[in-house]
Amino acid sequence: MGDRLKFKKDPRGMAKSADTSTDEPTTNQAERDLCDFLSERSELRVSFEQPDDERERRYDRLPVARTQAGTQAEVSDFPSGKSDSRGNFSKKTYVRYRDTVNDFLQSQDVSDLMEVEPREINRWNQLLQRRDYARTTRDGKLETLGVFFKWAETEWRAPRKEGKKLSETIEQKRKDLDVSGDEKSRSGDDNHRISTEQAEEIIGHLAKHDYASRQMVEFLLIYHIGCRKSALLSIDCSDLKPRDGIIQIRNRPEKSGVRLKKGNRGERDVNVSPEIMSVVTDYIDAHRTEPQDGSDALLTSWAGRIDDSTLYRDIAGLTKCGECTDNSGDPLTKQNASDCPESIGCHDLRRVAITRMRDKGVSWDTISGRVNATVQMLKDHYDSPTFEQAAERRKQEVLNAL
């Protein structure tokens, strides 16, 4: 979709992102409102288009962000990290709002926000439930839709009469779900995680049967560093400093297409043991796939730097139980490993890593610098010892005191 965008004046007196000059269906008022919201938050030009990639989607048309030059926006084009209310959408946040709000508009056949009533909110909430989304997922989607409607209400694009605000209806739906703050952060992970013993078993199996593979490197680095997936995916081969025993984590979205969660504030050097460094360098020497694009990325496929979905599949594939089967009775593969209730993702493994560091006696301040999170955040959301682990931590201090 390379046509230049044209801006028309909305009947309400506000500039709107209009359709491209093609034969695509006319963009309705609600869709234009969504484009305006996304454009304001991303500081990019947004219009409804039919994506030209081959990905399967629930809807044929969706808001596409483009630069002023007309090219489709990449990660580095999104001005994330700003503290004000405008221009604070990273690409990931943009996609979350785009897909959630568009799903509501299309599934409920909404053409004008002014005509939306609470029953549409109720029907959409019921639709999310029929899709078998977890309560925490439904709460997150309702929260996202609520932010959009609060914006629409302040812009006089949705009903704002007291008692009829749709944002209030959405907030009530969230209260009905009654998802606690702890449940949001942990998402039930106490029963959806692996123990340090299981993690060590996985590493031992990889060392014996798949030594220095990409999957082994991914698992090892998350488990030993406790890094986020964005940090892991950002690493280039040149970021390894074997003589110094460190790996540099740098924010280079314009080069790598990966933005650290905290931007430049997420940059740091992390210490790595000689044993871990040896596995990583062996992987580079013997098993790293040379990408067609010539990328210096550490984790690659033939196409280039792997993305977060590939990383998730790799980790889920390593942690599935081995007993689950698909609908045909065949064992789960890496592609559908997430169907196994015992499989975990990168964030879950990060939590296991942080809990392990605490069990080993590493101070909160040291862990904070290593994993790039505040001490309070770690205490509240990441450290989740079992009763036995918590007792063992207190054991020495209590015995010495008594």
- 3-state per-residue secondary structure call for 149-196: HHHHHHCCCCCCCCCCCHHHHHHHHHHHHCCCHHHHHHCCHHHCCCCH
Distance of CA 96 to the CA centre of its chain: 9
Instruction: Tell me if 70 is assigned to some domain.
Output: no
Domain count, the chain: 2
Give residue 166's pLDDT band: very low, low, confident or very high (50, 70, 90): very high
Instruction: Give the chain's radius of gyration (CA, Å).
Output: 24
Q: How confident is the model over 308-332, as a mean pLDDT?
A: 84
Q: What is the pLDDT of residue 402?
A: 62
Q: How far apart are CA 185 and CA 189, in angstroms?
A: 9
Residues 173, 229, single domain; the answer is no
Domain limit, last residue, from 179, 207, 242: 179
Cβ distance 153 to 160 under 8 Å? yes
| 54 pLDDT above the threshold of 80 | no
Q: What is the pLDDT of residue 289?
A: 96
Residues 163, 261, single domain; the answer is no
Q: How far apart are CA 17 and CA 31, in angstroms?
A: 9
Instruction: Tell me if 62 is assigned to some domain.
Output: no
To the nearest whole percent, how much of the chain has pLDDT over 90? 51
Q: What is the pLDDT of residue 9?
A: 39
Tell me the backbone φ, ψ of residue 72, rounded to 5 degrees.
-65, 135
Instruction: Tell me if 99 is assigned to some domain.
Output: yes
**11 vs 38, which has greater pLDDT?**
38
Residues 175, 202, single domain; the answer is no
Most trustworthy range by pLDDT among 61-70, 240-249, 368-377, 381-390: 240-249
Cα distances (angstroms) measured from residue 309 to each of 210, 312, 330, 336: 21, 5, 23, 12
Instruction: Tell me if 168 is assigned to some domain.
Output: yes
Ramachandran bin of 130, using left for φ above 0, alpha for ψ from -120 to 50, beta for the remaining angles = alpha
Q: What is the pLDDT of residue 193?
A: 65
**294 vs 60, which has greater pLDDT?**
294
Instruction: Tell me if 60 is assigned to some domain.
Output: no
| 276 pLDDT above the threshold of 90 | yes
Residues 343, 307, single domain; the answer is yes
Q: How far apart are CA 157 and CA 28, in angstroms?
A: 13
Q: How confident is the model over 24-28, as a mean pLDDT?
A: 76
Residue-wise burial string across 86-119, b where 16 or more C-beta atoms lie within 10 A, e elsewhere: eebbbbeebbebbbbbbbbbbebebeebeebeee
Instruction: Tell me if 58 is assigned to some domain.
Output: no
* Residue range(s) defining the domain that contains residue 171: 75-179
Q: How confident is the model over 125-132, as a mean pLDDT?
A: 88
Element of type H or E holding 125: helix 118-130
CATH of the domain at 265: 1.10.443.10
Residues 235, 298, single domain; the answer is yes
Q: How confident is the model over 328-357, as a mean pLDDT?
A: 84
Residues 231, 362, single domain; the answer is yes
Q: How confident is the model over 242-258, as a mean pLDDT?
A: 94
To the nearest whole percent, how much of the chain has pLDDT over 70? 83
| 257: amino acid identity, one letter | G
Q: How confident is the model over 157-165, as a mean pLDDT?
A: 84
pTM: 0.60
Residues 355, 230, single domain; the answer is yes
Residues 246, 293, single domain; the answer is yes
Q: What is the pLDDT of residue 87?
A: 55
Cβ distance 375 to 246 under 8 Å? no
350 token code pair: 């990060």
Residues 313, 347, single domain; the answer is yes
Q: What is the pLDDT of residue 370?
A: 96
The mean-pLDDT minimum among 72-86, 120-134, 222-236 falls in 72-86
Residues 84, 160, single domain; the answer is yes
